[in-house]
A and B are shown apart, each in its own frame.
Chain A
């Protein structure tokens, strides 16, 4: 029988091949995908996040765990779609206009996906109007913006302004982050939330959606 603990370990240690193999085995045995997700995959990602926060894991380990998680999840997705299972939440994410730094943003996107969110990644150097269009098209619960430079941080404010002008600000929560971004700045520009690393971003996203 497929070993859930083996799947948990494979994701935690970033062993994509084993994660995929165990997931395939489990599917062949008709194990409920939701059981795999809730009992092995999400706990493994939570543990990877905890290790990251206490500096036992660093960015590479977290990226590899998220990659293994995503590969397993890709196998489950058709089954989940078949039965009309809804994701935890839908997220639109991007690095703001003028800013090309995307490592942190990619990591947050991976962690959110690993946490069961449906993620639409708009990439880097994303103009405000593209965020607005994505909100209209994807109908997300959450918009996440990243900036790594103080010189591009004002684009977060203009994006929130653009969401207001388009009349869609109230239908989403907005979360911001990136090295120079602070909780004070998030409040000042009217964002709903701030997270200072990829692991806390998942927690904050869950909090915002529950609120």
Chain B
């Protein structure tokens, strides 16, 4: 089979490693991680544009290197090729190898934030999406806030907007076994120490990623969207489902 893979750049190294070993010919296109920061509807529109650009005469299916991703894939429609999506809330499911393992780990580790190679070296370019940090304020440096809002207000905004990182207590590095050396683990250890967070290293699992690019689409773990249907969020064990596109 010849397959087209549209993947979030956060999975760059993992997807490349899996594609290299796939029995199929897989053409890969990576999309910016920043799509997650433009809201579910905005992300879906960008993904749909990428799906619609795929030349249907060349491929048998479009693979999605995504999960539900904050409803970022909800509404995504299969035109003439089926879409294949791993069932999961977000990419951590793909790194840990199963949604059950992710949910168990997430729920028993309150305040955990994850790091992988992609979470360290990708996704810095919000500007390429026309999205400025000024819009949300999140991610602005203290100096930027100071210049824009003055000292008193900058101090307040720094405390308020830094909140989402301030609440995290634990940094977990997921090692996938494809890393060239220990640099990513080291970077995570350093960040955890600087931010006074607990550090843990867990072993990732390439199985879901490999199944995706190898055509092993067990319906329990993968959603197959037939042409003329679209993805919906399901709020249950299945996480995602389909409905006929209007």
Given A150-B89, A179-B39, A58 and B152 touching (CB < 8 A)?
Answer: no
Find out whether the CB atom of A103 lies under 8 angstroms from the CB atom of B40. no
- CB-CB under 8 A from B235, the residues of chain A are 150, 153-154, 185, 188
- CB-CB under 8 A from B40, the residues of chain A are 179-180
CB distance from A14 to the nearest CB of B (A): 6
Find out whether the CB atom of B163 lies under 8 angstroms from the CB atom of A106. yes
Find out whether the CB atom of A100 lies under 8 angstroms from the CB atom of B168. yes
B-side interface mostly: helix
Of the residues B68, B110, B134, B157, contact of A63 by C-beta under 8 Å:
B157
Which segment of B8-16, B47-55, B135-143, B210-218 sits at the interface? Answer: B135-143
State whether the Cβ of B117 lies closer than 8 Å to any Cβ in chain A: no
Find out whether the CB atom of B103 lies under 8 angstroms from the CB atom of A151. yes
State whether the Cβ of B124 lies closer than 8 Å to any Cβ in chain A: no
How many interface residues does chain B have, given as a range? Answer: 35 or more
Of the residues A63, A148, A150, contact of B233 by C-beta under 8 Å:
A150
How many interface residues does chain A have, given as a range? Answer: 20 to 34
Contact digits for A40-82, partner B, Cβ 8 Å, 1 yes 0 no: 0000000000000000001110011001000000000000000
Which among A59, A101, A106, A182 has the highest number of chain B CB atoms within 10 Å?
Answer: A59
Find out whether the CB atom of A182 lies under 8 angstroms from the CB atom of B71. yes
Find out whether the CB atom of A180 lies under 8 angstroms from the CB atom of B163. no
Find out whether the CB atom of A58 lies under 8 angstroms from the CB atom of B136. yes
State whether the Cβ of A122 lies closer than 8 Å to any Cβ in chain B: no
State whether the Cβ of A125 lies closer than 8 Å to any Cβ in chain B: yes
- CB-CB under 8 A from B110, the residues of chain A are 98, 100, 125
Find out whether the CB atom of B160 lies under 8 angstroms from the CB atom of A150. no
- CB-CB under 8 A from B163, the residues of chain A are 102-103, 106
CB distance from B104 to the nearest CB of A (A): 11
Kindly state the separation between the CA atoms of A182 and B164 in the bound complex, as whole angstroms.
22
Find out whether the CB atom of A98 lies under 8 angstroms from the CB atom of B161. no
- A residues 121-165 near B (Cβ < 8 Å) are 124-125, 148-151, 153-154
State whether the Cβ of B125 lies closer than 8 Å to any Cβ in chain A: no
Contact digits for A186-199, partner B, Cβ 8 Å, 1 yes 0 no: 00100000000000
Find out whether the CB atom of A17 lies under 8 angstroms from the CB atom of B152. yes
- CB-CB under 8 A from A106, the residues of chain B are 160, 163
Find out whether the CB atom of A103 lies under 8 angstroms from the CB atom of B89. no
Q: List 14 contacting pairs A-B, 8 Å CB cutoff, sorted by A.
A: A58-B135, A59-B136, A60-B134, A60-B157, A63-B137, A63-B161, A101-B167, A103-B138, A125-B167, A149-B89, A150-B90, A150-B235, A179-B71, A185-B235
A63-B161, A182-B71 are known; give 4 further A-B pairs, CB within 8 A: A60-B137, A125-B167, A149-B70, A150-B71
Question: 5 smallest A-B Cβ distances: which pairs?
Answer: A100-B167, A60-B137, A151-B89, A180-B70, A180-B71
Q: Which residues of A contact B (CB under 8 A)?
A: 14, 16-17, 58-60, 63-64, 67, 98, 100-103, 106, 124-125, 148-151, 153-154, 179-180, 182, 185, 188
